Amino acid sequence: MSWKMHKENMNSTRIIKPVKKIPGSVHPPYKKELARNAPIKNVSSMEAHFHISMSQHLGAPAKPIVKKGDTVLRGQKIGEASGFISANVHSPVTGKVIDINEEQTLSGAYASSIIVEASDSEKWGVLMPELDWESASPQQIITRVADGGITGMGGAGFPTHVKLSPPKEKAIDTVIINGAECEPYLTADFRLMLEEPENIKNGALIIRKTLNAKRVIIAIEDNKPEAIRVMEEALKNCDENVFIAVLPTAYPHGAEKQLIYALTGREVPSGGLPMDVGALVENVGTAAAIFNAVAKGIPLVERIVTVTGEAVAIPLNLRVKIGTSFAALLNVCGGTKSKSTKLIAGGPMMGITQTSINSSYTTKTTSGLLLLPDNMISTYSSDPCISCGRCVEACPMHLMPCELSILLEAEDITGAEALNVLDCIECGCCAYSCPSHRPLVQHMRAGKAAIMLKRKQQKNTEKK
């Protein structure tokens, strides 16, 4: 359904257009028709063991506060935030802790993981008291968000209570709720907008109140007209500073810096944060989770995951408890219907490949589980760069990926740093467009890691 067909029927004062066109961008096929019509389904508790990682967020991992043999309740805190940038972790089920092991997370790093054998997975054991968010103070709300272990659910997992406490001099005037979901195949945010618009709306208003901001913009791409309609309906009693922005569909319109630029015209400075330009971006899932934590006292233990891909028998959007194995999710979706040798946690542009279905467990930031059939998997080669310029055209940060990859192949770290490789957001637009199939994003990541290591070593030698 085209966006133009709906436009005539809509109340146009609440719907706004972006003020700027994002730099670069590519247009991969949406592939959302595979799962967009599947309503959110609860994964019933056939999964007995839940592996809850202590590192489900950016920053220091949480510290386990239970030990082997303990009984835990659904909603009970089992991991304590350790440090300024850290988050609590709660148990999604009632059961017994059968082990605490060091396990590999979805990103490849290792962290402690509490393994709970479930006896009841639906009844809440522990909940926080309900808060009236309209009368609560910002500090109360922030404390509640911290207690609830809320982290960014768009993929990065930044602890939300830290994001909601910017320093006094960085005043926020625009809150952007990210419903763009620009990654192909994924429909989790789309279904959430269709089925829980009130929760998202309330979450957005809570964020605005906490930050004392002026306006709220809910950004949705124009390939989701039904979601735009539903959200518009949900906002009908809001004040005039709550908007819905309809974005032209392009990848990566949902990337934080590009989204802020498109909606406000402001560029987040290099090395800076959105608060430096008076903006804040939160995923629609995070907004809904904030509302649940504040108004209903529910900690973050579940999220929507889209299991999709042409190799999956029945693509579905599932409400999944953290710690559920990918094997259980795939089972619910009828397994694979064609051979697939690439298992991706997340979307196809920025997702992370996994080495095992059985040993991969859902976290707070897992938005998708993607299985592509073998004939659709692209392979990287080490062919030389032919200077076609498609990567330069596609880069949303206006970098020159071709030049950077040649420097990084030659291990010229200083040269790459001078060419601003640290500004790369690893979106994958360059490698998507490269006719030589060069592993450009991997080059960028390796370069960034080398620069950070060099800086750390320099700091250490300076200390000596």
In angstroms, give the least distance from the CB of 35 to another protein.
16
Q: Which CB, 23 or 138, lies closer to another protein?
A: 23
Would you say 194 or 440 has its CB closer to another protein? 440
Q: Is residue 305 a contact residue for another protein (CB under 8 A)?
A: no
- Candidate residues 68, 296, 437, 456; the one interacting with another protein per rule CB under 8 A: 437
Rg (CA), the chain: 22
Rounded Cα gap, residues 122 and 459, in angstroms:
50
Residue whose token pair is 């609440």? 14
Q: Please, which residue, 1 or 449, has the CB nearer to another protein?
A: 449
Which C-beta is closer to another protein: that of 264 or that of 286? 264
- Could you tell me how many residues make up the chain? 464
Torsion angles phi and psi, residue 64, rounded to 5: -65, 135
Site track 277-296 with another protein (rule: CB under 8 A), x = hit: xx------------------
Note whether 333 and 315 are within 8 A (CB): yes
* Dist CA 190 CA 210 (whole Å): 26
Nearer to another protein, 305 or 441 (CB): 441
We find the least distance from the C-beta atom of residue 8 to another protein, in angstroms, to be 33
3-state DSSP assignment of residue 463: helix
Burial status of residue 44 (CB atoms within 10 A of its CB: 0-12, 13-18, 19 or more): exposed
**What's the one-letter identity of residue 117?**
E
* Under rule CB under 8 A, residue 415 binds another protein: no
* C-beta of 10 vs 58, nearer to another protein: 58
| Nearer Cβ to another protein (194/343) | 343
**Residue 21 C-beta: closest distance to another protein, Å:** 13
Task: State in angstroms the smallest separation of the CB of 93 from another protein.
Answer: 13
DSSP string for 358-378: TT-B--TT--EEEE--GGG--
Tell me if 341 contacts another protein by CB under 8 A.
Answer: yes
Q: At what angle do helices 197-211 and 225-234 cross, to 10 degrees?
A: 60
Applying CB under 8 A, among 396, 404, 407, 416 the residue interacting with another protein is: 396
Q: In what order do the strands lie in the sheet with 94-104?
A: 49-53, 110-120, 94-104, 71-72
Task: Considering only residues 109 through 138, tell me which ones interact with another protein, judged by CB under 8 A.
Answer: 109-110, 113, 115, 117
Cα–Cα distance, 23 to 197 (Å, whole number): 30
Q: What is the DSSP string of 92-121?
A: SSEEEEEEEEEEE-TTS-EEEEEEEEEEES
Is-cis flag, bond preceding 23, omega within 30?
no
Residue 334 in contact with another protein, rule: CB under 8 A: no
Whichever of 128 and 275 has its CB closer to another protein, that residue is 275
Considering only 44-52, 119-127, 129-137, 294-302, which stretch makes contact with another protein by CB under 8 A? 44-52
DSSP letter at 122?
Answer: S
- Of 389, 414, 455, 456, the one binding another protein (CB under 8 A) is 389
Quote the CA–CA distance of 411 and 406 in Å, as a whole number.
9
Contacting another protein within 78-107 (CB under 8 A): 99, 101, 103-104, 107
Q: Where are the alpha helices (DSSP H) in 133-251?
A: 138-147, 160-163, 188-195, 197-211, 225-234
Contacts (CB under 8 A) with another protein, residues 358-387: 358-359, 370, 372, 376-380, 382-387
Stretch that binds another protein, among 142-150, 220-228, 242-250, 260-268 (CB under 8 A): 260-268
Q: In this structure, are residues 369 and 306 in contact, taking their beta carbons and an 8 Å threshold?
A: yes
Stretch touching another protein by CB under 8 A, among 69-77, 207-215, 270-278, 285-293: 270-278
Number of residues that bind another protein (CB under 8 A): 101
State which of residues 349, 369, 404, 416 lies at the interface with another protein (CB under 8 A).
Answer: 349
273 scored as a contact of another protein (CB under 8 A): no
Binding residue for another protein (CB under 8 A) from 325, 362, 366, 367? Answer: 325
Q: 159 forms bridges with which residues in the sheet?
A: 151
In the complex, least distance from residue 393 CB atom to another protein, rounded to whole angstroms: 8
Task: State which of positions 165-204 bind another protein (CB under 8 A).
Answer: 173, 184
Checking DSSP bridges between strand 15-16 and strand 242-247, what pairing results, if any?
parallel
Does 418 contact another protein by CB under 8 A?
no
